[in-house]
Amino acid sequence: MPLNRLVGWINMKVESQLKRGINMGNSKDYKALAVKIRQHCIRMTNRGKSGHVGSMLSMADILTVLYGKILNVDPENPEWQERDRFILSKGHGGAAVYAALAEKGFFPTEWLDTYYMDNGKLSGHISHHIPGVEFSTGSLGHGLPVAVGMAVAARYAKSGYRIFCMMSDGDCNEGSTWEAIMFAAQHRLDNLTVIIDYNRIQALGHMEDVIEMEPFGKKLEDFGWAVKEIDGHNYDQIEESMRGLPLIKNKPSCILARTVKGKGVSSIENTVSCHYKYISDDKLDEALREVGKLQ
Ligand SMILES: [Mg+2]
């Protein structure tokens, strides 16, 4: 490699490591960000009279660690070629990613006030027109196939960026998801990590009443993936699972994160109905207070 290209490559790697570790040193920092994300989501869905707050609260702690420490992204240059890619396959929970992106500095937090509003900046389901969002999703089963394509592209480009895909357990009922799971294993895409927000509740029911996935981790391992099961609300476990990826060389990684739908607002925790609801005006202050006390 010519010297000038070698120097450029070293600079890029150093810059990349610096960006990856720019903030978040301990669980207190995580708590502060998670509270902001949860409170944004509660306010945004209440203001917009939109749904899916339960789904957002379920993955808030995972997003906190991802955007707080793990993802190698640059708010000042959202399309930086060497950035890590994050796809939210459960696109109905997009407000939680918008909240994380705004707190990270990708766009002004004032944009959050326009969520789900006519002529607003932020749509109900996640949109790639927003800085920091890689791909628009909504119908389940689309995120992982695209993430797999990105992982293949990164390999062909000989680039070191990683691809992360957050899925719901409902997402895993889709046939297209399992096609992507098989492809990723066969082609040894160890630059790909899936995080499953495993709250065991989906749009219209509990998993055991719709399509049961257990033994979920074993199924994924049998399909050739490396799997780690964690508590999806424990910052130490989330961060530890994402350090040193891939979990096993030459295998795609899956973090099966056990979560609670509606986490933090006791009146809606673990309910099916919180999939389509928002926190009403009369319960708003109490909900905001409650999530402020988490962890
Ligand atoms: Mg679910």
Average pLDDT estimate for 136-145 = 96
> Looking at the domain assignment, is residue 226 inside a domain?
yes
Q: What is the residue whose two structure tokens read 């379920």?
A: 58
CA 218 to ligand 1 centroid distance, Å? 19
CA 142 to ligand 1 centroid distance, Å? 16
pLDDT tens digits for 261-287? 999 999 999 999 988 889 999 999 999
CA 59 to ligand 1 centroid distance, Å? 10
> Looking at the domain assignment, is residue 187 inside a domain?
yes
Output the pLDDT for position 282: 96
pLDDT band at 11 (very low <50, low <70, confident <90, very high): low
Q: What is the residue whose two structure tokens read 């673990």?
A: 270
CA 196 to ligand 1 centroid distance, Å? 9
Q: Please report the sign of the dihedral spanned by the C-alpha atoms of residue 62, residue 105, residue 28, residue 192.
A: positive
Residue 145 has pLDDT above 80, yes or no: yes
Output the pLDDT for position 83: 98
CA 251 to ligand 1 centroid distance, Å? 25
pLDDT tens digits for 146-156? 999 999 999 99
CA 223 to ligand 1 centroid distance, Å? 21
pLDDT tens digits for 170-209? 999 999 999 999 999 999 999 999 999 999 999 999 999 9
Residue 120 has pLDDT above 50, yes or no: yes
The domain in which residue 24 lies consists of: 11-292
pLDDT band at 168 (very low <50, low <70, confident <90, very high): very high
CA 200 to ligand 1 centroid distance, Å? 5
52: left (phi over 0), alpha (psi -120 to 50) or beta: left
Output the pLDDT for position 18: 45
Instruction: Please name which of 97, 80, 75 lies closest in space to residue 22, comparing C-alpha atoms.
Output: 75
Mean pLDDT score of the chain, rounded to an integer? 92
Residue 259 has pLDDT above 90, yes or no: yes
pLDDT tens digits for 198-214? 999 999 999 999 999 99
> Looking at the domain assignment, is residue 5 inside a domain?
no
CA 207 to ligand 1 centroid distance, Å? 8
Ion ligand 1: residues, Cβ under 5 Å: 168-169, 199, 202
Domains of the chain: total = 1
> Looking at the domain assignment, is residue 3 inside a domain?
no
CA 282 to ligand 1 centroid distance, Å? 26
CA 7 to ligand 1 centroid distance, Å? 46
> Looking at the domain assignment, is residue 254 inside a domain?
yes
> Looking at the domain assignment, is residue 74 inside a domain?
yes
Output the pLDDT for position 243: 93
Residue 80 has pLDDT above 90, yes or no: yes
Q: From CA 12, how far away is CA 73, in angstroms rounded?
A: 13
Cβ-Cβ contacts under 8 Å for 72 (sequence gap 6 or more): 16, 19, 20, 82, 83, 84, 161, 162
Percent of the chain with pLDDT over 70: 91
CA 63 to ligand 1 centroid distance, Å? 15
CATH of residue 125's domain is 3.40.50.970
pLDDT band at 22 (very low <50, low <70, confident <90, very high): very low
Output the pLDDT for position 7: 53
Output the pLDDT for position 12: 54
Residue 17 has pLDDT above 80, yes or no: no
Q: Which three-class secondary structure state does DSSP give residue 164?
A: strand
CA 285 to ligand 1 centroid distance, Å? 26
CA 178 to ligand 1 centroid distance, Å? 17
Residue 164 has pLDDT above 90, yes or no: yes
CA 6 to ligand 1 centroid distance, Å? 46
Tell how far CA 39 is from the center of its chain: 17
> Looking at the domain assignment, is residue 1 inside a domain?
no
Element housing 165 (H / E): strand 163-168
CA 91 to ligand 1 centroid distance, Å? 12
The model's pTM is: 0.92
Residue 292 has pLDDT above 90, yes or no: yes
Output the pLDDT for position 162: 98
CA 197 to ligand 1 centroid distance, Å? 6
> Looking at the domain assignment, is residue 221 inside a domain?
yes
